[in-house]
Structure 1
Amino acid sequence: LDGTAREIVATGLRQPGDLALYHGLLWTGDTGWDALKGMGQIDEIDRVTPGADFGFPVCAGDEASLPCPDDVTPPAYTFPAHSTPLGMAAYRGDAIPILQDTLLVVLSGNRNDPVIAGFMVTALRFDAQGQFVERYDLMPNGDRLAGGARYTTDQLNYRNSGFFPRRPLDLAVSPEGWVYVSISGGRILALRQPGE
């Protein structure tokens, strides 16, 4: 690669936070408008295909009050406004079997919104064609790890026992399958099976 063959692969993204290769496809997380407090599902996970137009600034996510034109590529998955999908990685390890074949997403949140959204790490599973299959949250509550969770992520954040007011920023998966998460305030956390 010498940088001479530049190409615009996709348009209509506002703030793509990260890129990941998952199932051999390129994915990105995109954050909707800051000013639209109280809007619905406007933060997105998008499967990037050549020539895709994801609609910004005309529309975002699945928000019914901002319908997208027919030629806009719909998001693969949406999150509430201000969830802020920043970091992403495909899980390719063996250490945490429930994570195999998932796309891990850091939802960094927004401390300036009266409604807490995001502030978690979640796992999304898509099939080989990019169709959504399931979602489950990993941190801070781990609803499918170690027998379930006593509190929801929102409850933990409102109790100041989750990430909030700190923000998860990015993640990486080690060769053995541990998940490392960076958070504001200068910390890196490790998610691994108990006893490891």
Structure 2
Amino acid sequence: MLLTDGDDDGLPETVETYAEGLDRPNSLAFYEGSLYVAGRNHLYRISESQVETLVDSLPGNAGDWVGGIAVGIVGDSAEPRIYVAIGAPCDDCVYDSSERAVILSYALDGSDRQLVATGLRQPSDLAIHNGELWVVDSAPQGLTGDAMADELNRVTAGADFGFPTCVGMGTALVENGCDGKVSPAVVFSTGSQPLGLVFYDSDVLESMTGDVLLAMGGTFNQLDLGGYQLAAVSGIETGSPSVRTLIPDSSSNDPAIASLTPSTLNWRGVGFYPARPYDVVVNDWGWVYISLGGGRILSLRPQSENVY
């Protein structure tokens, strides 16, 4: 679907079908005027509503759907490539497929398939920033309690991030399961379900400048509502990251509000719950857009008398 902003106020007025005939489109990325879409077993490139199938053999058909997609130049590569994340075939099991729970890459025409990284249970979104590839991942749904096992990962070629034997910062699911595995850059409470990420490089919303923004989809089977948040990670480049919640916002001069957890705020209707945040993006103006279950998109923008 294409949402069009006809009066240049940053908010869409019309919705129309941009392309048809896609098989379960689940993630998209723009690159040099074309829209790249991943869905089920397919990679598509769409230019001026014309759909071209680049790949029809992505691993899939069971377990988690195809995850994130990113297009660009990573590391020392001289050419841009398509990076696509593939989920595990099950929530929590040992599997024998070498191309599930992985990141694959392709040339822009869909050729030259390469295995980039492994050990990612539900790699829901990818981002390329300053030549580095990043991915979010979620731990098995049955892993509850105080574990910090949901992840933000900096991807290096050949990295094994651990699943199904290791999750989070060294949480072994079998004996010695974390030996030789790559640790995440940041961990979050299990059940946060990071589903979308974007680097905020604008100075329009200054409190977010330099942060990684994450759409936390949240739990569906726990009383303590993990996730259902827009979170921000600061200090990612310094190696000393810190995580804070932007929505729901508990910062208040009222101590009765400031003492409430994001879970409590969500239960009270202050946050996103029961809608799940699925993704977060930033436009050229520095505005932040958050997509929610139920067909809604929210916008975070600066307060101004010129914004209606």
TM over 0.5: yes
Cα pair 2:170 2:178 within 8 Å, conserved: no
TM-score for the superposition, normalised by structure 2:
0.57
Matches within 5 A, 1:98-109: 98-109=207-218
In the alignment, structure 1 residue 31 sits paired with structure 2 residue 31: no
CA distance in 1, matches of 2:274, 2:303: 26
Task: Say which of 159, 180, 190 aligns to 2:299.
Answer: 190
1:49 match: 156
* 1:69-124 C-alpha deviation (Å, 9 max, x unpaired): 33100011111111100011111222101211111111010222222101101111
2:223 match: 114
CA distance in 2, matches of 1:51, 1:93: 32
1:165 match: 274
Matched residue type, 1:185: G
Aligned length: 191
Cα pair 2:117 2:157 within 8 Å, conserved: yes
2:248 match: 140
Greater RCO (Cα-Cα under 8 Å, separation 6 or more): 1
In the alignment, structure 1 residue 85 sits paired with structure 2 residue 194: yes
Cα pair 1:111 1:165 within 8 Å, conserved: no
> Residues 22, 142 of structure 1: CA spacing in aligned structure 2 closer, same or farther, 3 A cutoff?
farther
> Residues 167, 17 of structure 1: CA spacing in aligned structure 2 closer, same or farther, 3 A cutoff?
same
Task: Say which of 7, 11, 16 aligns to 2:123.
Answer: 16
Cα pair 1:30 1:44 within 8 Å, conserved: yes
CA distance in 1, matches of 2:287, 2:159: 33
CA distance in 2, matches of 1:4, 1:16: 22
SS of residue matched to 1:188: strand
Cα pair 1:40 1:62 within 8 Å, conserved: no
TM-score for the superposition, normalised by structure 1:
0.87
Matched residue type, 2:290: V
Cα pair 1:141 1:152 within 8 Å, conserved: no
Stretch deviating more after TM superposition (63-72 or 169-178): 63-72
Matched residue type, 1:3: G
SS of residue matched to 2:269: coil
Following superposition, the deviation at residue 194 of structure 1 comes to 2.5
* 1:28-87 C-alpha deviation (Å, 9 max, x unpaired): 110111122325111111111101000000011036464643310001111111110001
Following superposition, the deviation at residue 161 of structure 1 comes to 2.1
Stretch deviating more after TM superposition (175-184 or 158-167): 158-167
CA distance in 1, matches of 2:237, 2:131: 9
Matched residue type, 2:144: K
Cα pair 1:84 1:108 within 8 Å, conserved: yes
Matched residue type, 1:28: V
* 1:153-188 C-alpha deviation (Å, 9 max, x unpaired): 223112122111111111110101010111112211
CA distance in 2, matches of 1:174, 1:140: 22
Cα pair 2:224 2:263 within 8 Å, conserved: no
Q: What residue ranges of structure 2 are gaps of 5+ in the alignment?
A: 1-107
In the alignment, structure 1 residue 6 sits paired with structure 2 residue 6: no
